[in-house]
Amino acid sequence: MLLRIKSQNRQENISFPGAVCELPVYDLIVAGLGTAGVYAALTAARYGLRVLGIEKLNCCGGTGTAGDVHGYYFGTPGGIYEELDDKVREMEEAGYMPVVGLNPEAKKFICEQALVESGVEIHYESRVTGVLMEENTIRGLCWVENGEEKAALAKITLDCTGESGICEMIGCRMERGRAFDGQIQPYSVVQPEIINGLVEFYHYLDCGYMDALDAGEYAKACVNGACLPHYNPEDYSTRRILGISMLLGLREGRRIMGEETVELSDYFKDRVTDHPVFYAYSNLDNHGRDLAFESEGLQDWMVAASLWGINISVPVPLGSCIPQGYEGILAAGRNISIGHDIASCVRQRRDMQKCGEAVGCAAALAIQKGISVREVPYEELRERLLATGCLRETDAVGIWDIEDGKWYRSAWLDRAEDIYQGLKSHKPGIAIWSAGRIGGFVEQQLEEWLSDSDQNVARNSALALGILGNRKALPILRCMAEERDPYVPCTSRKYNQPRGLSAVYLLGRLKDSEAVGILERILETPEDDRGQEYRYDQFIRTKKEYGFQFFTHAAMALSRIRAAYPELEEEITGKLKEAMKSPFFESLLGDTAEDAIYIRVAAGNMRKFLK
C-alpha cells in the first residue's frame, strides 16, 4: 500500500511506514464535520455504518457554526437537518441567546449530540494530512491529532472539507474559479455582533480574493481582512462585537471534476439531470461585482437581462459527488462538481446539508450492497431520500420571482403578446430571457419591435436580440452605449444593470467592429455620466463604481472585438494599454476605500490579463 502525503504545496509518495493490518478499520471516514459532513456522517451512521469523523476545529457544523454564517439564505426544506434545527430552536426557546438564523453554539451541541448518539466516532482538532491509497482506490486517511500522527482504513472516504482538501491530495482533477482569471468569489472575514439583544451576522464584508489552499495567501487573507477599518471601529462603546469567527468565510474554492458536472449552460438549455439526489435553490448569488470578467452565459443572465434576483431550482446528481478516476471516495459540500457560474447558486447551507445527507445515504447503500458508489441503484437511493424529504419532487419546478416582498413561482413566457407586454414594463428581464430562449418566431417580432414607438420595447428588444446573437440590434445598442443609457430596470430586487452597461457588454459579445470608437471613448471618460439622473442602487453606489463598471465592460468588449478582427489588434491593444495608464485606472488601483476593495483587486487582475 502506498501512502501519499501532501504538505504545503509539496506532494510525494511514500510507503506507509507502519503495519497496515494494525490500523483501525471503519466503513466510512468523513473528513470535515462541517455543513455537509455532519449530515453525511449522521446519515451513514443511522444506516448502521461504523463511521469516523475527522474535524480540524474543536466543534462541528463548519461555516454554519464556527464560521458564524448562521442564517439560511434560500435552499430547500426537508431532510434530516430539519430535525436537528427543530432541536436547536427548542434550546433557543429554553433560553439560549436568540440570533438571526440558528444559534451556532446550540447547533454545535445538537449536531455533536446527534453524531455521538448515532455512534459516530469524532476526532476534533485533527487535521487530515495524507491519504492511504492502493493504486487509484482510497483506502483511508492519515491525520495529526494532539501532535501525533494517526491513520485509519475505510471502505469509503468522504471529502467534506469545503476546499476539496482530500481530493487535491490524491491528485483528482480540479477546477477553480472563472475562465478569465481563475478568480473565485470574494471571501469574507465574518464578525458577529450583538444588536438590540440579538446576534446579527451581517458583518461579512467582501474582503477580496484568495486561494485557501495556499498557506501564505490564507494567512495574509485572515490578517488583511480582519485589519480593515470596517472591523476596527474607533469607538467600541456602542458596539458589541463578539470577535472574529474561527473559520474564514470562503464562498468558493477548488471543485472536483466529477463523473457528472452541473453547468449553468446546460441548465439554460433545460439539459438537467433526470436522477437528482437533491435540489439546490437560490438566485445566482455571485458576490463578485466585476461582472465584466465573468462568462458570457452569466453576463447574458446578469448584465443583459438583470436576472440576478431570480431564483432557480437546480437538480444535482450523485455523479457530481464522485471524483473522476478514483474509487472509494465521494465529495459533499460546496466542492462538488459544479461549474463556477452555477456554484453561486449550489452552495447555500440548507442545500449543502442535504448534499451531505444524500452522499451519506449513497455511501451506506454502496457499502451495504458491497458495490462501488458508481453502481448504487438510483431508484433505491431516491426512495430513501424521498422518505426523509432530502429529495422533494415539488422542488423541481421552474423559476421564482419576487413581487411586493413575496416570492411566487414564475415561468418563462411563450406568447409574443406576453413578451411584448413584458418588454414594455419596468420588469423586462423575464421577457428578455424568454424571447432569447424561444428565438424562432419571436426573433422576427423582436426585429419589428426595434422601431416601436415605446422606448422600453425598442431597447429591451435590442437586448433580447443581442442575447440571440442577432446583429440587427447593433444600431440601437450603439446608441444606448453612446448615451450611456441610465435606465435601470426593476427586474431584480438588487443588482439590476443600467441599460447602457448591458448595451456595452452586448456590443462586445456581438463583436461589433463599428462600436470601437464608442467603446474607446468610454475608456477615455468612464466617469462621464452625461449629467443624467443616474439611480444609484446596491450594485453601483458611487460615481467611481459607475466609472469602474463602464470602464471594465468597455475594455472587455474591445478585447472581444480585437480577438475577432486581427486588423484591429494594434489599435485596440494600444488603446487598452493607454487606458490602463490613465489617471482613472491608476485611481482604481490605489483606491483605499474598503468598499472598493473589489475594484482594486479587479483592476490589478485586469492589468495582468488584458495585455
Binding-site ranges for ligand FAD (CB under 6 A): 31-37, 54-57, 62-64, 69, 71-73, 75, 127-128, 160-162, 165, 188, 190, 204, 249-251, 333-334, 347-350, 352
Give the residue with the Cβ less far from ligand FAD, 37 or 78: 37
Q: Which three three-digit cell numbers place residue 248?
A: 474564514
**Residue 88 Cβ vs ligand FAD, minimum distance, rounded to whole Å:** 15
Give the residue with the Cβ less far from ligand FAD, 37 or 79: 37
Give the residue with the Cβ less far from ligand FAD, 352 or 610: 352
Question: Which residues contact residue 132 at a Cβ distance below 8 angstroms, ignoring those fewer than 6 apart?
Answer: 1, 2, 3, 16, 20, 138, 139, 140, 141, 142, 151, 153
Q: Which three three-digit cell numbers place residue 142?
A: 492519515
Give the residue with the Cβ less far from ligand FAD, 125 or 483: 125
Give the residue with the Cβ less far from ligand FAD, 129 or 513: 129
- CB of 41 within 8 A of CB of 34? no
**Residue 67 Cβ vs ligand FAD, minimum distance, rounded to whole Å:** 6
With 0-12 CB in 10 A as exposed, 13-18 as middle and 19+ as buried, what is 284?
buried
Give the residue with the Cβ less far from ligand FAD, 121 or 418: 121
**Residue 283 Cβ vs ligand FAD, minimum distance, rounded to whole Å:** 12
Question: Which residues contact residue 453 at a Cβ distance below 8 angstroms, ignoring those fewer than 6 apart?
Answer: none
Question: What's the half-sphere exposure (Cβ side, CA atoms, 13 Å) at 6?
Answer: 19
- SS3 (DSSP) at 214: coil
**Residue 539 Cβ vs ligand FAD, minimum distance, rounded to whole Å:** 18
CA separation for the pair 83, 235 (Å, rounded): 42
Q: Residue 405: what are its φ and ψ, rounded to 5°?
A: 80, 0
**Residue 115 Cβ vs ligand FAD, minimum distance, rounded to whole Å:** 13
Give the residue with the Cβ less far from ligand FAD, 358 or 481: 358
**Residue 162 Cβ vs ligand FAD, minimum distance, rounded to whole Å:** 3
Q: Which ranges of 213-371 does DSSP label H, i.e. alpha helix?
A: 215-226, 264-268, 296-299, 340-343, 349-369
Give the residue with the Cβ less far from ligand FAD, 7 or 372: 7
**Residue 534 Cβ vs ligand FAD, minimum distance, rounded to whole Å:** 30
Closest CB to ligand FAD belongs to which residue?
A: 34
Give the residue with the Cβ less far from ligand FAD, 161 or 445: 161
Q: Which ranges of 280-415 does DSSP label H, i.e. alpha helix?
A: 296-299, 340-343, 349-369, 378-388
Question: In whole angstroms, what separates CA 333 from the centre of its chain?
Answer: 12
- CB of 549 within 8 A of CB of 540? yes
**Residue 388 Cβ vs ligand FAD, minimum distance, rounded to whole Å:** 18
**Residue 350 Cβ vs ligand FAD, minimum distance, rounded to whole Å:** 6
Q: Residue 415: what are its φ and ψ, rounded to 5°?
A: -115, 135
Locate the DSSP E strands across 395-455.
Answer: 399-403, 406-410
